[in-house]
Amino acid sequence: MKADEGGLDARKAYILATVVYEYVATAEPVASNTLTQKYSLGVSSATVRNEMAELEAGGYLVQPHTSAGRVPSDSGYRTYVDHLMQPEDLGEEERRRIGDELRDASRELDDIIDSTTRLLGRLSKNLAFVTRPQQDTQTFKHIQLIWLTPRTGVAVVVSSLGVAAQSLFELTADLLPDELTRLSNALNARFADRPLRDVTESAIAALVGELGVSEELRGVVQTALQSARSGEQPAVAAAGAQNLVDQPEFQDLRKLRSILRIVEEQKSLYDIVAGAMATPATSVRIGRELGSEEMADLSVVTVPYRFGAHAVGMLSILGPRRMPYARLIALASGTAQSLSERLSEHQVS
């Protein structure tokens, strides 16, 4: 009874692993006969049946009905993922292709995230979604208040990740271009290269007071920075929903509809990612572990991506519980790695 077999003896562990493997491949409940024929177990199907019955008693397998083969349960998958599966690695070739494809994407942050999401959806043949970078670990670089007319203008905020926010503003009293320039310069002088979260409302208010510029500008700058910090719930890009239609578990249209609803609602997507926020590394959540009856037969693999030293976002793959975990984990990690590299090139230095 070795630790890395999840508390099962070697033969049970091997049988559980093959059941998962086979079920992932075929989507059919796995029979004892199938195992003895396809895998060299060295025992007869009767013995396998006994072992399977014990695995079922232990909660690792379930039987859809009496005369059917077995299917892994949530905790069967969990044991497989934590202890039994052979970790995969992307080939050199594939790793390179991912890198190349991301390098070809535009320089704009949003486009890079979009491309990454689509790429991951395509390669994983599941639904991929990626949160846009959370900028609160990033540094403030520059703000520019641009004068358009005496009462309108644009505020542009640049953080270390690039253009972080831009917003039109409209004032109730006329203003000279000079006032905007002075405020921009003062803000830049004081806050350049400091963490974005240091540029607080009170710091802005103080500066506006010192300079004696219009009080209205305080609100303008605060709004722009607020949107640069992009709230607590960053936007999420999704791609690959059509891949799920082909999976036999989504023949049931109710399930499909609830998935589509999730995809179209930023909030639901974000909630899923939020559940993985606690762990700084790869997270796999299986079935009911996702905490919602609606997602009881889904699984999600989530991997953080970095910008510099900090994790700034998450990259996820969502699919049926019956997913090739090792492959998808490798794919998500590899893509996160490439994305992290791509982002550091992109950095405003």
Partner DNA sequence: GGTAGCACTCTTCCCGCAAGACTGCTAGCC
Partner DNA sequence: GGCTAGCAGTCTTGCGGGAAGAGTGCTACC
**Smallest distance from the beta carbon of 183 to its own copies, in angstroms?**
15
Query: Is 251 a residue that touches DNA (CB under 7 A)?
Result: no
Identify the residue among 38, 96, 194, 261 touching its own copies (CB under 8 A).
261
Query: Is 54 a residue that touches DNA (CB under 7 A)?
Result: no
Please name every residue paired with 320 in a beta bridge, in sequence order, or none if there are none: 298
Give the whole-angstrom CA distance, residue 302 versus residue 214: 46
Query: Is 37 a residue that touches its own copies (CB under 8 A)?
Result: no
Query: Is 144 a residue that touches its own copies (CB under 8 A)?
Result: yes
The letter for the amino acid at 112 is: I
Neighbours of 149 (CB within 10 A): 10
Residue 4 binding: pick among DNA, its own copies, none (C-beta 5-8 Å cut-off by kind) = none
**Runs of H (alpha helix) within the chain:** 10-26, 32-38, 45-57, 74-79, 92-104, 109-124, 177-191, 201-211, 216-229, 241-245, 253-264, 266-274, 325-346
Quick one: 86 or 349, whose CB is closer to its own copies? 349
Stretch that binds DNA, among 25-33, 192-200, 204-212, 271-279 (CB under 7 A): 25-33
Identify the residue among 30, 224, 241, 303 touching its own copies (CB under 8 A).
241
Give the whole-angstrom CA distance, residue 94 versus residue 100: 10
Give the whole-angstrom CA distance, residue 66 versus residue 49: 13
Q: Nearest-CA neighbor of 268 among 127, 75, 115, 110? A: 127
Identify the residue among 173, 189, 253, 309 touching its own copies (CB under 8 A).
253
Q: Which two tokens mark 218? A: 């305080």
Query: Is 8 a residue that touches DNA (CB under 7 A)?
Result: no
CA angle 282, 288, 289 (to 5 degrees): 30
The letter for the amino acid at 103 is: R
* Residues in contact with its own copies by the rule CB under 8 A: 107-108, 141-142, 144, 146, 148-149, 152, 154, 156, 158, 162-163, 166-168, 239-242, 245-246, 251, 253, 256-257, 260-261, 264, 346, 348-349
* Residues in contact with DNA by the rule CB under 7 A: 28-34, 42-47, 49-50, 52-53, 56, 63, 65-70
